Amino acid sequence: MAPIGTLHYLVVAAALFILGVIGVLTRRNVVIILMSIELILNAVNLNLVAFSRIWGLHGQVFAIFVITDAAAEAAVGLGILIAFFRNKETVNVDEVDLLKW
C-alpha cells in the first residue's frame, strides 16, 4: 500500500463535502439539514488541515476559526429552528414556505 498522502485526505474531505451537500439538498428534517451543514464545514476543516501539513500552520489556525464559526452558526441555526417550531409546530423544511410570492 502507498503511504497516505495529501490526496487521500482531500478525497475523504470531498466525499464528506458531497455527502453534506446532498444532505442539505435532500433531507426533509431541518435538524438533519443543520447536521449536514456541520458535515460540510468539517469537510472543509479536513481540507485545511491536510494542506497545512504542506504549507504551514496557517491551515490549522484557520481550521480553529472554522470550528468556532460552525459552533456559533449551529447555535444560531437551532435558535431559528426553535423560533420557527414555536410558530409552525413542524421541523419539515417543506413547510418553511412563507417567504414566497
**Binding residue (CB under 8 A) for another protein from 10, 19, 21, 66:** 21
R_g (Cα) of the chain, nearest Å: 17
Of 12, 19, 24, 66, which one interacts with another protein (CB under 8 A)? 24
Q: Is 36:24 a contact under the CB 8 Å cutoff?
A: yes
Q: Of these, 7, 22, 71, 76, which contacts another protein (CB under 8 A)?
A: 22
- For residue 99, state whether it binds another protein (rule: CB under 8 A): yes
Give the nearer residue to another protein in terms of CB position, either 21 or 66: 21
Q: Does 32 participate in binding another protein (rule CB under 8 A)? A: no
Q: Interface with another protein includes 89 (CB under 8 A)? A: no
If the CB atoms of residues 6 and 26 are measured against another protein, the closer one turns out to be 26
Task: Give the DSSP letter string of the chain.
Answer: -----HHHHHHHHHHHHHHHHHHHHH-SBHHHHHHHHHHHHHHHHHHHHHHHHHH-THHHHHHHHHHHHHHHHHHHHHHHHHHHHHHHS--BGGG---S--
Which residue ranges make up the site for another protein (CB under 8 A)?
21-22, 24-26, 28, 33, 93-94, 96-101
